[in-house]
Structure 1
Amino acid sequence: MTRRRIAIIGPARTPISEPFSGGLTAHIGALTERLCQRGHDVTLFAAPGSDRKLPVVELAMNLRLSDDARQDVSMPPEVFMHEHHAYLGLMTSLARQRNRFDVIHNHSQHHLPIALSYLLATPMVTTLHTPPTPWLESAVQVGPTLAMRFVAVSQFTADQWSPLLGAVDVVANGVDCEHWTPGPGGTDLVWSGRMVPEKAPHLAIEAARLAGRRIVLAGPVADPVYFAACVRPLLGPDAHYAGHLDQNALSRLVRTSAVAVATPVWDEPYGLVLAEALASGTPVATFARGGTVEVVDETCARLAVPDDVHSLARAITEAAALDRRAARRRALEHCSIERMMDEYELLLGETVAA
């Protein structure tokens, strides 16, 4: 592909750095790194504290408010104002630099890059990582949707947005199958992700106990109240919290586990942890929710009735008997970062040429 000057807009609050806060930051980090490796001139606009090995320009979370403004009883939380200011500053700056980039790839999940895209002479692609939200729907409804290329991370997410956007392109997320390498498995189960109610790690512990298996959990405690009330009381000899691990440590944990368990109690747009597990040769047991069902198939996973821990316990037992080589094959054929990069390069090139 022709060398492109690509701007990537990331989140303003969460740095693109290890240990990653979640699937979105891991995805943006990998995408940025691979675009650079493929010879593109990339600039990543991201939160302060992002990995300096990446071509990062930090978003300016430095709004200075007067004492009078702070006394306004209608003022929203200050972090909201800093984020608003960061994206407002970025978009106006990009509008002034008309020839700096060939294409802009937006992953921010913030409404301003979409709503203000009409200011830009540069074409923009927005990846939809979430279901429709009120802020994003508002921006799409008033924004120049004909000038914006939208792409979803799963067909499920594309279908959710289709009433507003019509047909939406799909580029499924991918993982580095040279980093997430197959391992021997083990006897323990693994659960990884953010410790938040919608990912429900407490249900993974309950299902593991019903299946008679020890489980190891890893990930950031994004909701300390939930963790203290619903997860910590369930920990013990058969349920261990390993902490917030970097990619190397997490990869070792996943590839030496018998089954990767996922417990979304909402409709996940994709499910990057499942792709990581498959690349590690680790079969999956998960609730059949949202885009997760597009990541796996019957050769490498068992799907459980949503929110039903007894069904999940049965899925765990069945998944433990699956061929680890089939999981790896599924990752190589459907979940690889090379496939994702080929599709994104084609899409970005088409957007520049349009």
Structure 2
Amino acid sequence: MSGLRICLIASSRFPVSEPFVGGVEAPTHTLTRALQARGHSVTLFAGHGSDPALGAQLLTAEPFEPSHGARRDLAAPPVQWMREHHAYLGLCLDLAATGAARFDVVHNNSLHHLPVAMSSAIGVPMLTTLHTPPTPWLESAVRFAADRSRFVAVSAYTAQQWRGSVRASVIMNGIDTTRWAAGPGGGPAIWFGRLVPEKAPHVAIRAALHADMPLDLAGPILDDAYFEAEVAPHLGPRIRYLGHLGSDALARHVGGASVTVVTPSWDEPYGLVAAESMATGTPVAAVARGGLREVISAESGRLCDSEDPAELARAMLEASTLSRAETREHAVAHCSIEAMIDGYERSYAALTDERRAA
């Protein structure tokens, strides 16, 4: 399709930059670069510290600081919440004033409610990607979304969760399978992601100890108390914490692992970690929550229905024997960035065609 002028709205909480903090920032970075490579003009609005190579514009140049009097309000929300509200309010008002002349489509890839709530005022067709289960703020915003707004979910599971509020088509997240290249395997098991209770690395530790497999952990520590209580006591020669790694270093460690362990204690909307691991040829052993059942196949991993250490240990041992070539083939066929971009281009085209017809 011919090049479009795309306004891509990202998260303001974490920068769209290496090393990525979460499962929204990495796909946003990949999406921006891939759309630019296909000839689209992408203006990315993102938080402070985002990759300058993307040409990102800050969501707000000056972070909001409430006055002393406002801070004394007993009902005042947290300052971080107000800063995000301020950033998205400023962006949406700017788009309402000038967006129709600057952009063909707005792709809301953030988790914030204001772009959806103000979509009818913006005057540019908007596509919103649903990265999470329904939240009260977003459910409220959907009630006021413009008629021409469209929604996509990152898995069929997530689309079903939203079915009571909005109908969403499905475009699964894609990964750069050249960057997540095939690795030799044979090393320790690995767990990677945010070290927080809902990602449950402590479950992976218990299973690795039960399986008598060494385990590496990688990712940002976002809950110090949890890390000190549930992870740190187990660290040693068999259980290692590698730190918060950039994508290249992380891909090398994942590609050298015998198996990746995925242990969500909530319903995972997609399962980016699993897709990245499979692209390197490393099979996955996962607790079957949320969209993970759509990402992992029998050729690329093993799923278990509980966090029981013995059951997950069996899944780790079985997955580690699977063909690395077939595991990567599954990722290339089902989790590639090309499939994701094809899906988004079709959605953009439908929105712009409707705009022209109107």
TM bucket, shorter chain: over 0.9
Q: Residue 193 of structure 1 aligns with which residue?
A: 193
Query: Do the aligned residues in 1 keep the contact of 2:148 with 2:351 (CA within 8 Å)?
Result: no
Q: Residue 154 of structure 1 aligns with which residue?
A: 155
Q: Residue 40 of structure 1 aligns with which residue?
A: 40
Q: Residue 257 of structure 2 aligns with which residue?
A: 257
Q: Residue 306 of structure 2 aligns with which residue?
A: 306
1:143-200 CA distance string (max 9 Å, x none): 135321000000000000011113x100001110111111110131010000010110
| 1:194 counterpart SS class | coil
Moved more, 296-305 or 242-251: 296-305
Alignment of 1:130 with 2:127, yes or no, is no
1:19-75 CA distance string (max 9 Å, x none): 000111000000001111111111000001111011201011522433322222221
CA apart distance, 1:212: 1.1
Alignment of 1:80 with 2:81, yes or no, is yes
| 1:294 counterpart SS class | helix
Q: Residue 66 of structure 2 aligns with which residue?
A: 65
Q: What letter matches 1:26 in structure 2?
A: A
| 1:99 counterpart SS class | helix
Rounded to whole Å, the distance in 1 between the matches of 2:229 and 2:136 is 30
Moved more, 182-191 or 267-276: 182-191
Query: Do the aligned residues in 1 keep the contact of 2:302 with 2:318 (CA within 8 Å)?
Result: yes
Alignment of 1:90 with 2:91, yes or no, is yes
Q: Residue 178 of structure 2 aligns with which residue?
A: 178
CA spacing shift, 1:336–1:74, aligned 2, 3 Å:
same
Alignment of 1:227 with 2:232, yes or no, is no
Alignment of 1:267 with 2:282, yes or no, is no
TM-score by length of 2: 0.96
CA spacing shift, 1:9–1:319, aligned 2, 3 Å:
same
Q: Residue 101 of structure 2 aligns with which residue?
A: 99
Q: What letter matches 2:272 in structure 1?
A: L
Q: Residue 331 of structure 1 aligns with which residue?
A: 331
Rounded to whole Å, the distance in 2 between the matches of 1:77 and 1:305 is 37
CA apart distance, 1:346: 1.2
Q: Residue 5 of structure 1 aligns with which residue?
A: 5
Rounded to whole Å, the distance in 2 between the matches of 1:249 and 1:332 is 21
Query: Do the aligned residues in 2 keep the contact of 1:202 with 1:234 (CA within 8 Å)?
Result: no
The 5 Å alignment of 1:232-247 reads 232-247=232-247
Rounded to whole Å, the distance in 2 between the matches of 1:306 and 1:127 is 29
Q: CA RMSD in A?
A: 1.0
1:91-148 CA distance string (max 9 Å, x none): 000000121100000011111111111101100000000000111111112x135321
Moved more, 150-159 or 58-67: 58-67
CA apart distance, 1:11: 0.7
CA apart distance, 1:90: 0.3
Q: What letter matches 1:304 in structure 2?
A: C
Query: Do the aligned residues in 2 keep the contact of 1:187 with 1:213 (CA within 8 Å)?
Result: no
Rounded to whole Å, the distance in 1 between the matches of 2:219 and 2:66 is 35
TM-score by length of 1: 0.98
Query: Do the aligned residues in 1 keep the contact of 2:119 with 2:146 (CA within 8 Å)?
Result: no
Rounded to whole Å, the distance in 2 between the matches of 1:219 and 1:88 is 31
Rounded to whole Å, the distance in 2 between the matches of 1:62 and 1:318 is 50
Q: Residue 116 of structure 1 aligns with which residue?
A: 118
Moved more, 344-353 or 207-216: 344-353
Q: What letter matches 1:101 in structure 2?
A: F
CA apart distance, 1:308: 1.8
Which structure 1 residue ranges, 5 or more long, are not aligned? none
CA apart distance, 1:6: 0.2
Rounded to whole Å, the distance in 2 between the matches of 1:86 and 1:308 is 43
Rounded to whole Å, the distance in 2 between the matches of 1:297 and 1:307 is 19
Q: What letter matches 2:121 in structure 1?
A: L
CA apart distance, 1:306: 2.3
CA apart distance, 1:305: 1.9
Q: What letter matches 1:264 in structure 2?
A: P
| 1:286 counterpart SS class | strand
Rounded to whole Å, the distance in 2 between the matches of 1:292 and 1:75 is 38
Moved more, 148-157 or 221-230: 221-230
| 2:150 counterpart SS class | strand
